[in-house]
């Protein structure tokens, strides 16, 4: 039987995985006795300002840190955390508070850019002043050349806004440090979100009515300068907290951070050198992007103004071929060539089968969308379980979405699927959502007011 060595300065105790499960259950249940403990009514301000771009469906950092704290208490030997659906990198940032090696990937280049900025080992402390200088350079630039060749630009940007964004883009390109440019690209992305003609109330691209657009008085350079100052201030708070937690030495984060662009279904192909990982912490998409959260559409306009080579040499600009391309490439997006056939999937999850069988005939594509998503999700689980160590824990935060007015039991389907892959669900916690930004009120996803947190252990082969 595998025994887990516990780093204990006083005495070395060796415990079985079942004993560790029991300790974790006790820790989580004691803490969870307060119904709002996992719900985090109070927001941690220094973390929330640190979000730098309004990426959809961000996890709540204080909850992630509480979960990590509990798992690390039971397993102090854990040294790395992995997030296969990284989004804006919240789980890795939480891992940095504990000095963990942090690894993550996402299929969306904007998510990778934001996460690389947030998790950098070294940062430039004068970034606020640099933001001011870049804004000044943009103001002094009198050229009117437009620095993007995106289709339908006039639909999405007023003429003056395009000129200002082009001036900012030219000024950012002149900065020497890659991290500085990345920070400023993220700031530009948020500037674009606020100054384009796209409505900010939904994640789907949806232009404001022309009459409304004509009335808006916008100054992207001013917006950019203010955001750069805010982002710089929140960054210095974050780095100060890491320093207080003794996770910064000689101005550098003490452990490794590695963010890659990539499809989780192929994670085994590109994490071979860094895996296996000790702990997983993630919140996966709840369904196909198009009918849940359109991460790709939300990123489409900003990405057209950012130098892809600064995100990653492997970032593929064909991801901007259409407004829907990133969403199509994401889980459940296009006809799946997943190794998981429909039959294998429904056999692996009786609860998914029951749900799918009970779906009404309309909308006609409800069932096929659902199963396409889960076939892709199954392929991701194959890869994920392949890059995790034996007896590693996985913390999955999942929301339940609606299809045809019926709530998909996402947590139960995940339980079925991981149990079929030699994993054990140790416990499931419920958290009420107080703060999370929701997708469109009218989308078929409806709103998600509750999330489940599954603690899973990968068993020995």
Ligand X SMILES: C[S@@+](CC[C@H](N)C(=O)[O-])C[C@H]1O[C@@H](n2cnc3c(N)ncnc32)[C@H](O)[C@@H]1O
Query: Which stretches of the chain bind ligand X, using CB under 6 A?
Result: 55, 57-59, 85, 87-88, 90-91, 105-108, 111, 263-265, 283-285, 295, 330-331
Question: For residues 447 and 442, what is the distance between their CA atoms, to the nearest angstrom?
Answer: 9
User: Cβ of residue 93: shortest distance to ligand X, in angstroms?
Assistant: 9
**CA nearest 148: which of 178, 115, 126, 170?**
170
Smallest distance, ligand X to C-beta of residue 310, A:
19
State CA 100 to chain mean position distance.
18
Residue nearest to ligand X (CB): 87
CA-CA-CA-CA torsion sign (81, 372, 265, 52): negative
Smallest distance from ligand X to CB 72, Å: 19
**CB-wise, 232 or 381, nearer to ligand X?**
381
Q: Which is nearer to ligand X, 161 or 331 (CB)?
A: 331
By C-beta, is 174 or 432 nearer to ligand X?
432
| Minimum separation from the CB atom of position 1 to ligand X (A) | 34
Minimum separation from the CB atom of position 295 to ligand X (A)? 4
SS (H, E, C) 136-190: HHHHHCCCCCCCCCCCCHHHHCCHHHHHHHHHHHHHHHCCCCHHHHHHHHHHHHH
Query: Which residue's CB is nearer to ligand X, number 32 or number 104?
Result: 104
Q: Which residues contact 399 (CB under 8 A, 6 or more apart)?
A: 283, 286, 410, 448, 450, 451, 452
- Bridge partner residues of 396 (DSSP): 282, 454
| Closest CB to ligand X among residues 264, 444 | 264
The CA distance from 191 to 220, in Å, is 6
User: What minimum distance in Å lies between the beta carbon of 196 and ligand X?
Assistant: 20
State in angstroms the smallest separation of the CB of 332 from ligand X.
8
Nearer residue to ligand X within complex by CB, 130 or 280: 280
Q: Are 400 and 407 in contact (CB under 8 A)?
A: yes
- Comparing CB distances to ligand X, the nearer of 157 and 393 is 393
- Between CA 337 and CA 344, with CA 343 as vertex, the angle to 5 degrees is 75
* Cβ(423)–Cβ(459) below 8 Å: yes
| Strand bridging mode 423-432 / 406-407 | unpaired
| Tokens coding 188 | 């530009």
DSSP conformation class of 333: S
CB nearer ligand X, residue 183 or residue 271: 271
Residue 329 Cβ vs ligand X, minimum distance, rounded to whole Å: 7
Contact 188, 243 (CB under 8 A): no
Q: How far apart are CA 107 and CA 110, in angstroms?
A: 9
Least separation in angstroms between CB 247 and ligand X: 20
CA angle 385/393/16 to nearest 5° reads 115
Of 169 and 193, nearer to ligand X (C-beta) is 193
């Amino acid at each position: 039987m595998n025994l887990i060595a516990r780093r204990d300065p006083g005495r070395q105790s060796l415990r079985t995985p079942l004993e560790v499960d029991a300790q974790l259950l006790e820790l989580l249940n004691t803490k969870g006795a307060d119904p709002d403990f996992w719900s985090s009514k109070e927001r941690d301000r220094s973390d929330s300002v640190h979000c730098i771009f309004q990426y959809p469906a961000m996890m709540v950092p204080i909850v992630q840190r509480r979960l990590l704290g509990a798992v690390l208490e039971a397993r102090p030997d854990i040294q790395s955390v992995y997030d296969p659906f990284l989004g804006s990198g919240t789980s890795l940032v939480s891992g940095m508070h504990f000095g963990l090696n942090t690894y993550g990937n996402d299929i969306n280049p904007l998510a990778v850019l934001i996460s690389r900025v947030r998790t950098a080992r070294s940062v430039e402390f004068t970034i606020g002043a640099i933001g001011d200088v870049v804004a000044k350079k943009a103001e002094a630039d009198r050229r009117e050349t437009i620095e993007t060749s995106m289709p339908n630009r006039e639909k999405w940007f007023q003429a003056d806004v395009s000129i200002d964004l082009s001036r900012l883009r030219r000024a950012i390109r002149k900065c020497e440090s890659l991290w500085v440019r990345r920070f400023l690209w993220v700031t530009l992305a948020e500037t674009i979100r606020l100054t384009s003609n796209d409505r900010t109330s939904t994640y789907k691209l949806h232009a404001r009515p022309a009459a409304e657009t004509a009335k808006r008085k916008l100054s992207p350079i001013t917006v950019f300068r203010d955001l750069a100052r805010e982002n710089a201030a929140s960054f210095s708070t974050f780095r100060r907290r890491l320093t207080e937690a003794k996770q910064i030495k000689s101005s550098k984060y003490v452990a490794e951070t590695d963010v890659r662009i990539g499809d989780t279904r192929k994670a085994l192909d590109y994490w071979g050198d860094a895996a296996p990982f000790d702990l997983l912490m993630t919140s996966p998409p709840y369904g196909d992007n198009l009918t849940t959260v359109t991460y790709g559409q939300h990123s489409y306009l900003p990405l057209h103004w950012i130098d892809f080579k600064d995100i990653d040499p492997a970032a593929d600009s064909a991801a901007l071929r259409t407004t829907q391309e990133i969403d199509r490439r994401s889980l459940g997006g296009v006809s799946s060539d997943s190794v998981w056939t429909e039959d294998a999937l429904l056999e692996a999850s009786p609860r998914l089968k029951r749900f799918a069988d009970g779906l009404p005939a309309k909308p006609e594509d409800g069932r096929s969308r659902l199963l396409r998503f889960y076939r892709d999700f199954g392929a991701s689980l194959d890869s994920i379980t392949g890059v995790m160590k034996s007896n590693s824990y996985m913390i999955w935060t999942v929301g339940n979405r609606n299809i045809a007015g019926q709530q998909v039991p996402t947590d139960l389907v995940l339980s079925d699927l991981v149990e079929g892959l030699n994993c054990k669900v140790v416990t499931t916690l419920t958290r009420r959502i107080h703060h999370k930004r929701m997708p469109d009120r009218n989308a078929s996803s409806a709103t998600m007011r509750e999330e489940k947190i599954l603690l899973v252990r990968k068993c020995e082969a």
